[in-house]
Structure 1
């Protein structure tokens, strides 16, 4: 009877774990609704989700800029594709329940992985768990000389200045622990005629919702143009300062 009870509890525990994992996989497997930082004017997507996608896009692009010769995969490619295309090992060895998971940034040359999250403690813990799960799955099938670790030392800042001395948006990110990159959006009020040093020294505030509503799509287009070397979008009279400019 004791053995039967123990087996029952074990079975129930396993079923519960699998249900949670399947739910997580379902969420991970959904394709992103937008690949660009811009937002459609009639979009019903929550503002927090929009800003998160914008941050993921910029941070991913910046990683590619900093590592132009590396083979880098983003969250549009699952673990099965990463192992196969990145030549890490045999992707067929990945369990069915994990092969569709999609890390935010995986570099199969530097053999590092990053999970991108908002800069708060709850998100940081979630990022730590997800990065650990991805690394465990990848390293289970990777060849001995191709094991991955959590990436470190990845940080940066992007500024968008609207008009001359207009509102100044800032996206910054840091990697405080291996594999977890945290980002934060912030805002400085307009100050016409101020020098760049004066702008940066201004009080940093939370990005107001009305600012995002008014300038979100334009900001996304401007960021995309800056990384692709194109012209500023129509209606954007300001400047984009990428990490290379800030340095």
Structure 2
């Protein structure tokens, strides 16, 4: 689930900043600097060339580390962001330095086929450069993600639920992102979703594009087995402080 969280949050950063050139933990710092032409890689220390920031936006010169929603992870994210910023800014050849990113928050709902609990991934910028996330689920089953969102009654995920569905969520998110370029080029699908729903990006997680941008009777339904849908909603205002009680799911170790 840690890997799915990282991948989905990074994906949504790209959706929110379509004009930015950004790297999402897929290339080392040395390559980022070389490809962007922003700096002199000879200024990197020996142990800095291969490190990979979670989100490095070279257009806006912003950086984020993605961490679970707990105090230990916040401390780790703070230290990692500090290290990456120091390395990047040491190489910069102009006066525009990288800063810890701010004001990046949102929610994504995952609907399983068959009308079950709705899962929610929530993330927010806890402090400049650190984005923290947590998973919860609807208090009762819903057939509609909109109904679950309106009810706004979220509870911690159990260990059993994580074991049963966590692997499916990770595989589904990974599959979606692997198809990202294809989805974005089929009749402008991704852009149409964002434009038509006014900021609500709907991303389908099964093998092809199912349904129309409509809730009418003609809309196709997801497959009865193994299907699901991720619906990132416009975020409510981000909480000022992290919650006093951290959901169990937020403390999971991250996948390599």
TM-score between the two structures when normalised by the length of structure 2: 0.68
User: Max radius of gyration: which structure?
Assistant: 1
Q: Give the match for residue 104 of structure 1.
A: 54
Instruction: Say whether the 8 Å CA contact 1:113–1:179 is kept in structure 2.
Output: yes
Deviation at 1:134, TM superposition (A): 0.6
Distance 1:72 1:174, change over 3 A: same
Q: State the alpha-carbon separation in 2 of the partners of residues 114 and 126 from structure 1.
A: 12
Cα deviation code 1:162-184 (max 9, x no counterpart): 23541110001000211000000
- Superposed counterparts of 1:227-246, under 5 Å: 228=183, 232=206, 235-243=225-233
- 2:176 is equivalent to residue 225 of structure 1: yes
Determine the C-alpha separation between the residues in 2 that align with 1:143 and 1:244: 37
| Equivalence map 1:146-165=2 (5 Å) | 146-163=96-113, 165=115
Q: Give the Cα–Cα distance (whole angstroms) in 2 for the partners of residues 192 and 55 of structure 1.
A: 22
Higher relative contact order (CA 8 A, sep 6+): 2
Q: Check the 8 A contact 2:117/2:142 in 1, yes or no.
A: no
Separation of aligned partners in 1, 2:51 and 2:145: 46
After the TM superposition, which parts of structure 1 deviate over 3 Å for at least 4 consecutive aligned residues?
Answer: 192-200, 220-231, 236-239, 243-247
Any idea what SS the aligned residue of 1:146 has?
coil
Residue 153 of structure 2 is aligned to residue 179 of structure 1: no
Q: Aligned runs of 1:73-152 on 2, under 5 Å?
A: 73-152=23-102
Q: 1:80 to 1:162 in 2, by over 3 A?
A: same
Establish whether residue 170 from structure 1 lines up as the match of residue 160 from structure 2: no
Change (3 A) 1:230 1:197: closer
Mapped partners of 1:98, 1:195: distance in 2: 43
Structure 2 alignment gaps of length 5 or more: 184-202, 208-222, 238-256
Post-superposition offset of 1:146: 3.2
Q: 1:72 aligns with which of 10, 22, 32?
A: 22
Question: What is the SS of the residue equivalent to 1:144?
Answer: coil
Offset of residue 218 of structure 1: 3.1
Q: Paired residues, what number? A: 197
